[in-house]
């Protein structure tokens, strides 16, 4: 179903019958990705006396409790409340849900024991475009990211200057296929988070970071309409479901 829509003064054509889901589903199994030294999510039926919330075991309905951590267990979207002393909810930060996005592929640069995504690599990949949202696919890119044990791997991370560059060109929503835009062990500095959100000087309340996405190699670099779907959690972060539509 193709549709022509007006967006920020531009007419774009989108085929809504071909959604490209770049989220990783949460599941209580060994296939779920893990980060931040957490165990896998727990999904288990409620039991009350002789009653169990599982139809296959005699219950009238399936009725599960779910225990998980948004930051550790899959695709999630966060606001600057993730790093602020005061409480700020991502549910208040994200009020509109469609954005023009640019998908880019970058090769982190090996520096010592670290792999760093530089300002230069981001700038070259964007090639002069200034999108509202950016979707960063890192190399190497394979399906192992969907079930990876990230803890103690010293994953690649975004250089502070790269995050500042994205802020300066007006990117409001940053999506990346890593557990964090920052280094795993950074002594709590959180330089990329702070640079992107301009925290604490003048925090960007309506800007978000989405981590632990997966962008298949079949999704080419280029322009897309992003639908950033999110559960209504009053929390610094929420599980989310970003979906792309190719701009025709």
The rounded distance, in Å, linking the Cα atoms of 24 and 8 is: 30
Question: By residue range, what is the domain housing residue 125?
Answer: 2-25+74-246
DSSP code string of 113-161: TEEEE-HHHHHHHHTT---SEEEEEESS--GGGGS-B-TTS---EE-HH
Q: Name the 3-class secondary structure at 61.
A: coil
R_g over Cα of the chain: 19
Q: What's residue 7's pLDDT?
A: 72
Q: What's residue 2's pLDDT?
A: 75
Given a contact cutoff of 8 angstroms between Cβ atoms, the answer to whether 136 and 162 are in contact is no
Tokens of 218: 């079949």
Q: Is residue 43 part of a domain?
A: no
The rounded distance, in Å, linking the Cα atoms of 234 and 84 is: 15
Given a contact cutoff of 8 angstroms between Cβ atoms, the answer to whether 228 and 94 are in contact is yes
Given a contact cutoff of 8 angstroms between Cβ atoms, the answer to whether 183 and 193 are in contact is no
Q: Is residue 45 part of a domain?
A: no
* Terminal-residue alpha carbon distance, the chain: 12
Q: Is residue 180 part of a domain?
A: yes
Q: State which residues of the chain have pLDDT below 70.
A: none
The predicted model scores a pTM of: 0.96
Q: Is residue 40 part of a domain?
A: no
Q: What's residue 9's pLDDT?
A: 74
pLDDT tens digits along 174-227: 999 999 999 999 999 999 999 999 999 999 999 999 999 999 999 999 999 999
Q: What's residue 3's pLDDT?
A: 75
Q: Is residue 54 part of a domain?
A: no
Q: Is residue 64 part of a domain?
A: no
CATH number at residue 160: 3.50.30.50
> 234 to each of 10, 46, 94, 140, how far by Cα in Å?
34, 24, 11, 35
Q: Is residue 47 part of a domain?
A: no
> 177 to each of 76, 104, 105, 158, 200, how far by Cα in Å?
11, 11, 11, 11, 25
Residue 21 burial by CB count (10 A; 0-12/13-18/19+): exposed, middle or buried? Answer: middle
Q: What's residue 236's pLDDT?
A: 98
Q: Is residue 167 part of a domain?
A: yes
In the chain, how many domains are there? 1
The rounded distance, in Å, linking the Cα atoms of 64 and 52 is: 9
The rounded distance, in Å, linking the Cα atoms of 188 and 193 is: 11
Q: What's residue 43's pLDDT?
A: 97
The rounded distance, in Å, linking the Cα atoms of 244 and 32 is: 22
């Amino acid at each position: 179903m193709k549709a022509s829509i007006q967006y920020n003064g531009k007419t774009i054509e989108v085929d809504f019958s071909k959604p490209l889901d770049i989220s990783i589903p949460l599941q209580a199994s060994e296939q779920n990705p893990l980060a931040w030294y957490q165990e896998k999510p727990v999904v288990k039926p409620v039991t009350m006396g002789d009653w169990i919330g599982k139809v296959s075991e005699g219950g009238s309905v399936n009725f599960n409790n779910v225990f998980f951590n948004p930051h550790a267990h899959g695709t999630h979207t966060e606001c600057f409340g993730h790093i602020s002393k005061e409480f700020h909810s991502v549910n208040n930060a994200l009020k509109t849900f469609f954005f023009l996005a640019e998908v880019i592929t970058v090769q982190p640069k090996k520096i010592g024991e670290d792999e760093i995504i530089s300002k230069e690599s981001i700038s070259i990949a964007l090639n002069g475009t200034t999108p509202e949202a950016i979707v960063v696919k890192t190399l190497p890119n394979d399906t192992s990211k969907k079930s990876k044990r990230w803890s103690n791997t010293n994953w690649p991370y975004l250089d502070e200057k790269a995050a500042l560059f994205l802020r300066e060109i007006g990117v409001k929503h940053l999506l990346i296929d890593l557990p964090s835009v920052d280094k795993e062990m950074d002594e709590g500095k959180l330089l990329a988070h702070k640079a992107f959100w301009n925290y604490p000087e003048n925090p960007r309340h309506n800007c978000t970071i989405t981590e632990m996405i997966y962008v298949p190699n079949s999704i080419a670099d280029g322009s897309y309409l992003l639908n950033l779907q999110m559960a209504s959690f009053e929390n610094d972060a929420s599980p989310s479901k970003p979906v792309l539509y190719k701009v025709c």
